[in-house]
Each structure stands twice: as C-alpha cells, then as structure tokens.
Homo-oligomer: A and B are copies of this chain.
Amino acid sequence: MTSSRPLPLGAKPRITCDACHLSKLCIPKGLTQEEVDSLSRIVRRNRTLAKGTVLYQHGEWHHGILALKTGTAKLVSLDRQGNEYLVDFILPGDILGFDGFSTQRHSCSAVALETVSYCEIPAHQIEILTREIPGLLQVLLQYSGTQFDLSVQRLVLSRRSAEERLAAFLAHLSERYRQRGFSPTEFRLSMTRQEIGNYLGLAPETVSRLLGQFEASGLIDVQSKLIRILDMHGILSYCPA
C-alpha cells in the first residue's frame, strides 16, 4: 500500500492524495482523477502536532478543511463558564472544520488526543478551488449532510439509557475502525473515561461502572484503555436506531 515512487530530494515523504491510503474516506472519495490531482496540488500536507496541542481553537478565523491522517483528536465546544462539551472524536480519514462555515470563525476547538498528522485545505482557497474542482462543493455539501445525519443519530442516542449509549459508542467506534482497516474487535481508547462520559452525557463513574458491567457479562474485555469485544452480537443487541 505504501507508495513506491521516488521521493523529491530532501523532502519528507509527500504522499499525493491519490496515493493516500485514506482516499476512500477522505475528500477524494467523490472526485474524478483529474480533480484529485488538482486538489493534491493545493493541499498542505504533513502537518504534525503532539498530544494535547490544539489543531484550531474556538474563536479563531476559519482555518479551512482538515483531514486527519494519523492519530486521534477531539472536537469540543466550550461554554462561558469554561465547561467542555465533547462534540466528536476524530479518527484518521475524518474531515473537520465544519464549525467554521457559518460565521467564518471556529465555534469549536480541535485537540489532539495522540500525536496527529493531517492535511489542510486553507479556507481562502476553498472558494477558488470550487471553480477548478466542480465536484468539491458537492462533496463538501454531502459531508455536511453526513454531519447532519450523525447529529440526528446522536440525538436519538441521547434519549436512551446509559447502557445503550455506551454500547452504541463501542459499536460505532468498532465500525469506524473496521472501515479504516483496523481491528474492529480490539482497539485502544485514546480518550479518558471522563471524555467518553462527556461525549455520551454520562458521569465518568457511570462509564467505568458500565464497562465493568459489560465485562462481567462477557461482552467485552477491558484492560484500562484496551478494549476487546468478545460478543459483538451482544453489544449490538443493546443498540437502538
């Protein structure tokens, strides 16, 4: 899967979009070969940030569209009192930056949960790119639609019991890892129990208790951050929608 083409002298590896193993999930998904080439010339690549640092922050001017390549991140909203609200967990291949289209300023902050690398389409280029790549705004609009659908799914989930919410969280994470070529039954949680609870609208203690309960039921195996799903069918039987 890794590119075998010679690299430019003295440069860090610069994978073009169509050689990127995430192109099935990322923006190129809906574009023609020609459009992908065009996109590839604009995208800023290989930005890397350490765990805990900010990709962009609430209130900043809209950076543009970011595509996570490696690592994981969290998207959070803050209220006046400084409370954090976990809007989403970002996995490799995910797009972020939709929180900047409305006001031109980011309404959320994106924070690396592990060392991350990502690509970026600068906001000021998006309008220009639209002309060069007719499919791009269509793709972006489709992504927005997906975001909408996800927010609805989350709404549905928020009405369910704590058990169902956590089960759905694990099932969703598992499915997303599967789509990315990782094991769907064994993965490491890059977020704390606190952050899972914040995401699901539960106290961290509740998350801990339920993970213990799922383990006692033989559904999963928990070793601190490491999760092994033993009975996927059992997990799914909890899930609504």
Taking the nearest CB of chain B, how far is it from the CB of A99, in angstroms? 6
Number of this chain's copies in the assembly equals 2
Contact assessment for B144 and A79 in the assembled complex, using a CB-CB cutoff below 8 Å:
no
Contact assessment for B100 and A152 in the assembled complex, using a CB-CB cutoff below 8 Å:
no
| A131-156 to B contact mask, C-beta < 8 Å, 1/0 | 00010011011101111110110111
Contact assessment for B102 and A149 in the assembled complex, using a CB-CB cutoff below 8 Å:
yes
| A73-100 to B contact mask, C-beta < 8 Å, 1/0 | 0000101110001010000000000111
* A227-241 residues at the B interface, CB under 8 angstroms: 240-241
Find chain B residues with CB under 8 A from A147 CB.
144, 147-148, 151
Bound form: Cα–Cα A123–B162 in Å: 39
Find chain B residues with CB under 8 A from A201 CB.
158-159
Q: Chain B: which residue is nearest A108 at the CB level?
A: B152
**Is A192 part of the contact surface with B, judged by Cβ < 8 Å?**
no
Instruction: Give which listed residue, B99, B127, B158, contacts A145 with CB less than 8 A.
Output: B99
- Residue with the greatest number of chain B CB neighbours at <10 A, chosen from A103, A138, A152: A152
Main secondary structure of the interface of A (DSSP, over half): helix
Find chain B residues with CB under 8 A from A140 CB.
141
Contact assessment for A159 and B85 in the assembled complex, using a CB-CB cutoff below 8 Å:
yes
Q: Chain B: which residue is nearest A107 at the CB level?
A: B149
**Is A182 part of the contact surface with B, judged by Cβ < 8 Å?**
no
**Is A130 part of the contact surface with B, judged by Cβ < 8 Å?**
yes
| Chain A interface bracket (under 10, 10 to 19, 20 to 34, 35 or more) | 35 or more
Q: Interface on A for B, CB 8 Å cutoff?
A: 77, 79-81, 85, 87, 98-103, 107-108, 127, 130, 134, 137-138, 140-142, 144-149, 151-152, 154-156, 158-159, 201, 240-241
Bound form: Cα–Cα A103–B140 in Å: 13
Bound form: Cα–Cα A87–B155 in Å: 8
Find chain B residues with CB under 8 A from A107 CB.
148-149, 152
Bound form: Cα–Cα A27–B190 in Å: 41
Taking the nearest CB of chain B, how far is it from the CB of A61, in angstroms? 14
Q: Chain B: which residue is nearest A151 at the CB level?
A: B151
Given A138-B127, A240-B79, A99 and B149 contact (CB-CB distance below 8 Å): yes
Find chain B residues with CB under 8 A from A137 CB.
130, 137-138, 141
